[in-house]
Amino acid sequence: MDAIILQILNGLDKGSAYALIALGLTLIFGTLGVVNFAHGALFMIGAFCAVTLQRILSLSHEVVDETRTDFLGNPMKVDVPYVYDWFGEAAGQAIINWSVPLAILFSIPVMILVGISMERGLIKHFYKRPHADQILVTFGLAIVLQEIVKAFYGANPIPTPAPAAFTGSFDFGVLLGFDPFTIIYPYWRLIYFVFAMVIIAGVFAFLQFTTFGMVVRAGMADRETVGLLGINIDKRFTLMFAIAACVAGVAGVMYAPIVAPNYHMGMDFLVLSFVVVVVGGMGSLPGAVLAGFLLGILQSFASMTAVLDVLPGINQIIIYLAAIIVLLTRPRGLMGRKGVMEE
Amino acid sequence: MSKSNFTRRGLLKTSAIAGAGLAVPTIFTGASWAGSHTGFTNAPEGSTVTLGFNVPQSGPYADEGADELRAYELAVEHLNGGGDGGMINTFSSQTLDGTGILGKQVEYVTGDTQTKSDAARASARSMIEKDGAIMITGGSSSGVAVAVQALCQEAGVIFMAGLTHSNDTTGKDRKANGFRHFFNSYMSGAALAPILANAYGTDRKAYHLTADYNWGYTTEQAVRESTEAVGWETVNTVLTPLTETDFSAYIAPVLNSGADVLVLNHYGGNMVNSLTNAVQFGLREAQANGQDFQIIVPLYSRLMARGAGENVKGIFGSTNWHWSLAQGFTTPDGTEVAPDPASAAFVKSFGEKYGFPPSQAAHTCYVQTLLYADAVNRAGSFNPCAVVEALEDFEFDGLGNGPTLYRGADHQCFKDVLVVRGKENPTSEFDLLEIVEVTPAAQVTYAPDHPNFGGAEASLGSCNPGA
């Protein structure tokens, strides 16, 4: 029982990341009709926003410490962050400590800029081209973006810790009456789950309760008619692309303390997120979220030792297996509607 | 109704085509080993000789590859008489005098292994065929090392392995043309087990998470067998995909497994992530079976330790070489170890050139280049078979690991192994590991026909001069 609760919890944070990425993908599918293989790269850029802000805040100047020697036996040069000089050591340390939450604010303008320049600069030229072209160009873009990140940050994962206050873990076992150290769950993963729920609710509320959202929903259903009503749908769709980029970006920022960011983390999530979108039902935002959590939890269960002993290797294929079963029984995905994105 | 011309079928079809296109492996043309040489592949003509440095310049081990390349460039500089000569001055064999190899200036070409066997073979092949490389060296993965070693055997050039830790490189996959200076999984296990028994007791239950490839298997086996020999019990062993980045689903069950030790048979990015996850899940504060829970990382690298940050503190592992040997140190039991002049010479030339201390990957690559050059000088020929003969059962000192034997039976170096632990109070970003013990070579030596190394069937074959 405790193992099952633990794996459900485990699936929630992975599912949160899948859901947030799939949400953005579906928004872009739905509005622009573009298969955006560079969406994973946006998630990765978000994570690197956290790394970048951490580095900016840690910018330092060298102070020679005569009392210590470096590896060559010379007086040691110690790096003192500028924030220490400006705010004092304790406050400076606290600011660096909180770089990940602060990076959310930092990432929003960055992601809007990246999203708009990506859409206006490249993707809009491919709206009328075949899907194969769209896939190739966005896939190529993803490779270019990840190589740029690698050139600047190197190939190794970069630790980006959460604020010290959230680094511990919560003992659910004690809460539920189990022994201590049976169901332990890190605070930051709980925060990630709550954060994902807030973002998802925010996006849904935006689409449901604002005029802008209404126009976008109308445009997703019938772009031509909305255009005929004199609404500049292209402009709104560009903004939607920027919003989708932001969702992926903040998802990446918050994910940085969970898995140390590296340049190919976007690709790792991208393929699975596409499966999530297909399983959820193309063009269905609730479907993307539901499938994200469902597949995240399924994947966690498949990694359990008890399951692996019976079905070795199931952890590698469970998501695809689930996708096959869902598509065989419900060809439009879990919540896909008839007529959406069909000829 | 949607007016989009976008269809699910269309997406799946185009995705499949795109995916298949990207997955097509590099196809090699069956060109024969070219060249008009005198008796062996790529016999150097004129006043220069070309070495091929095959390192991961992209992919997950690119940072390690970059450090290897720095070491190779430094070695070439020293061989050609540049710089301060580094470990040439401390090397017990005194044939290297800064005039290149056998009087020929050393030039080099580089290839990118991408940490993929097929890419590594293609780049090695290109360096041999197109650039006339007489020797191939490098790599940061055992899968790559085994593949490139086999290719060099076929091609008739010498392969001086870089960072490769799997038993198989000089075990069941050993080749006459291939040589490894780096230590291996068995040695890690043999060096670690007594220290672990001493630190954590003999009544321990271990849970292994193992990278699902060649190196992971041999490391798990080595640590499992050596810890079981000191009384530990192995509760479970779980293989994790090499591409995994979030190990939470594998870490969570450890808590309820009855284990009180977690062994992470992971390297590079895998290790950084699995260790970070384990710490996040509170394993370091946890109690199990009435004891403090412990984590072990059998193969440590400083580059990796830097990636894992704070999380490495107090965690045991092993390493082939560490730059702090240059300064001397005191082990936790109070033994004073004097500075090693060879390591000091290497750290000085590397540190002054690049501004930071070399990694163990850089060290082994630098040493392999010097060992090759010296063997050619002693043999008086670049002929691979003459080089093999010069290296087999060669005993040397002054290259940073103390007295070392290049055993003829399997082309593996036998030398002391360092057991290290994540430092509690690092003084700089490079000072992350402290040496706990220098395990003497005798304690990690095994018979060439050891069952973990291919048994009696394992054979080097005969050397191939090619052409």
CB-CB under 8 Å, B272 with A260: yes
Task: With CB atoms and an 8 Å threshold, state whether A222 touches B3.
Answer: yes
Query: Does residue A28 surpass a pLDDT of 90?
Result: no
Q: Which residue has the tokens 């060649």?
A: B214
Count CA atoms within 13 Å of residue B201 on its CB side: 11
- As a whole number of angstroms, the distance between CA A35 and CA A341 comes to 12
Say how far apart CA A27 and CA A202 lie, in whole Å: 14
> From CA B418, how far away is CA B266, in angstroms rounded?
18
| Interchain proximity B1–A222, CB inside 8 Å | yes
Give residues 337 to 396 of B whose Cβ lies within 8 Å of A. Answer: 347-348, 351-352, 356-357
Chain A residue nearest residue B207, CA to CA: A305
The answer to whether the CB atoms of B309 and A155 lie below 8 A apart is no
Note whether B3 contacts A224, CB cutoff 8 Å: yes
B12, B60, B282 ranked by CB distance to A168: nearest: B282
CB B113 within 8 A of CB B68: no
B242 in contact with A, Cβ within 8 Å: no
Nearest to B282 among A71, A169, A220 (CB): A169
A188 touches B at CB < 8 Å: yes
Q: Which residue has the higher pLDDT, A148 or B244?
A: A148
B280 touches chain A (CB under 8 A): yes
Neighbours of B20 (CB within 10 A): 9
CB B419 within 8 A of CB B297: no
B52 vs A299, more confident: B52
Chain A residues 190-219 with CB within 8 Å of chain B: none
Whether A33 and chain B come into contact, CB under 8 Å, resolves to: yes
- The H-assigned helical ranges of A58-97 are 82-87, 89-97
The two most distant CA atoms of chain B are separated, in Å, by: 83
Range 296-325 of B in CB contact (< 8 A) with A:
303-304, 306-311, 323-324
Q: Is the dihedral of CA B182, B310, A102, A184 positive or negative?
A: positive
Q: Which helix (H) or strand (E) holds B209?
A: strand B205-211
Residue B23 forms contact with A (CB below 8 Å): no
Answer whether B335 touches A (CB < 8 Å).
no
Average pLDDT of the residues in A193-219: 91
A7 and B CB contact within 8 Å: yes
Write out residues 259-278 of B within 8 Å (CB-CB) of A: 268-269, 272-273, 276
pLDDT, residue A243, reads 92
Answer whether A2 sits within 8 Å of B256, measured CB to CB. yes
Instruction: Check: CB of residue A341 under 8 Å from CB of residue B4.
Output: yes
Is B5 in contact with A342 (Cβ distance < 8 A)?
no
Q: Are B102 and B12 in contact (CB under 8 A)?
A: no
The sign of the torsion formed by the CA atoms of B27, B29, B32, B34 equals: negative
pLDDT value of position B23: 45
For chain A, give every domain's residue range: 2-61+75-329
Chain B nearest CA to A271, separation (Å): 10
Provide the mean pLDDT of chain A.
87
d(Cα A333, Cα A328) in Å, to the nearest integer?
A: 9
Q: Report chain B residues whose CB lies below 8 A from the CB of A76.
A: 427-428
Indicate if the alpha-carbon torsion angle A205, A210, A216, A221 is positive or negative. positive
Q: Which residue, among A14, A65, A131, would best test binding to B if mutated, counting the most B CBs under 10 Å from its CB?
A: A131
- Whether B145 and B366 have beta carbons less than 8 Å apart is answered as no
Mutate to test the interface with A, among B280, B293, B430, B434 (most CBs of A within 10 A): B280
pLDDT in tens, A168-195: 888 877 787 777 777 788 899 999 999 9
CATH number of A2-61+75-329: 1.10.3470
pLDDT at A145 over 70: yes
The verdict on a CB contact (< 8 Å) between A169 and B11 is no
**The pLDDT of residue B7:** 59
Of A229-233, A303-307, B13-17, B455-459, which one has max mean pLDDT? Answer: B455-459
Name residues 100-129 of chain A within 8 A of B (Cβ).
none
Question: A339: pLDDT confidence band, cut at 50, 70 and 90?
Answer: low
The answer to whether residues A21 and A40 touch, using CB atoms and an 8 Å cutoff, is yes
At residue A57, the pLDDT reads 92
Q: Hey, is the C-beta of B425 within 8 angstroms of any chain A C-beta?
A: no
Query: What phi and psi, each to the nearest 5 degrees, are found at residue B96?
Result: -90, 125
Q: Which residue of B has its CA nearest to A316?
A: B241
- Measured CA to CA in angstroms, residue B53 lies from B26, B160, B325, B350 at distances of 20, 10, 26, 18
A278 torsion bin: left (phi>0), alpha (psi -120 to 50), beta (else): alpha
Q: In angstroms, rounded to a whole number, what is the distance separating the alpha carbons of residues B422 and A6?
A: 30
Question: Which among B2, B14, B61 has CB closest to A341?
Answer: B2
All residues of chain A having their beta carbon less than 8 Å from the beta carbon of residue B5 are: 33, 343
Chain B residues within 8 A of A6 when measuring between CB atoms: 252-253, 255-256
For B361, the token pair is 């990957």
Q: What predicted TM-score, i.e. pTM, was given to this entire model?
A: 0.84
Contact: B8, A278; criterion CB under 8 Å: yes
CB spacing of A132 vs B348 below 8 angstroms: no
**H or E element that contains B418:** strand B417-422
Structure confidence at residue B403 (pLDDT): 96
Beta-strand relationship, B178-180 and B158-161: parallel
Under an 8 A CB cutoff, do A157 and B269 touch?
yes
The Cα–Cα gap between B22 and B24 comes to: 6
Nearest CA of chain B to the CA of A161: how many Å?
9
| Residue B79 tokens, joined | 């061989």
pLDDT value at residue B26: 34
Q: Min CA distance, A338 vs chain B (Å)?
A: 9
CB B184 within 8 A of CB B168: no
CA-wise closest residue to A250 among A147, A103, A130: A103
φ/ψ (deg, to 5) at A316: -80, -30
Q: Is the pLDDT of residue A343 over 80?
A: no
Q: How many CB pairs under 8 A join A and B?
A: 183
Q: How far off is chain A from B114, nearest CA to CA, in Å? A: 11
pLDDT tens track for A215-224: 888 887 787 8
Query: What mean pLDDT is predicted for residues A128-134?
Result: 85
Supply the pLDDT for residue B229.
96
User: What domains appear along chain B, each with residue ranges and CATH number?
Assistant: 48-183+342-410 (3.40.50.2300), 186-319+418-444 (3.40.50.2300)
Pairwise CB contact (< 8 Å): A154 & B62? yes
Report the range out of A8-22, A215-229, A313-327, B200-214 with the highest average pLDDT: B200-214
Long-range contacts, stretch B442-449, CB < 8 angstroms, 24+ apart: B443/B190, B443/B191, B443/B194, B444/B183, B444/B186, B444/B187, B444/B190, B444/B191, B444/B414, B444/B417, B445/B414, B446/B186, B446/B190, B448/B407, B448/B409, B448/B410
Contact assessment for residue B161 and residue B147, using Cβ atoms and an 8 Å cutoff: no
Min CA distance, B60 vs chain A (Å)?
6
HEC string of A169-199 equals EEEHHHHCCCCCCCCEEEHHHHHHHHHHHHH
Residue A340, pLDDT above cutoff 60: no
Quick check: A15 contacting B, CB < 8 Å? Answer: no
ipTM for the predicted complex: 0.80
DSSP-derived 3-state class of residue A120: helix
Residue B30's pLDDT is 30
First to last CA, chain A: 47
pLDDT tens over chain B, length 467 residues: 344 444 556 555 555 555 444 444 333 333 333 333 478 999 998 999 999 999 998 766 788 899 999 999 999 999 999 999 999 999 999 999 999 999 999 999 999 998 889 999 999 999 999 999 999 999 888 989 999 999 999 999 999 999 999 999 999 999 999 999 999 999 999 999 999 999 999 999 999 999 988 899 999 999 999 999 999 999 999 988 887 888 888 888 888 888 999 999 998 888 888 998 898 888 888 888 899 999 999 998 887 888 787 889 999 999 999 999 998 888 888 888 899 999 999 999 999 999 999 999 999 999 999 999 999 999 999 999 999 999 999 999 999 999 999 999 999 999 999 999 999 888 888 888 999 999 999 999 999 999 999 999 999 999 999 87
**Residue, of A86 and B242, whose pLDDT is higher:** A86
pLDDT confidence of residue B149: 97
Cα distance between residue B303 and residue B61, in whole Å: 10
Give A156's pLDDT tier (boundaries 50, 70, 90).
confident
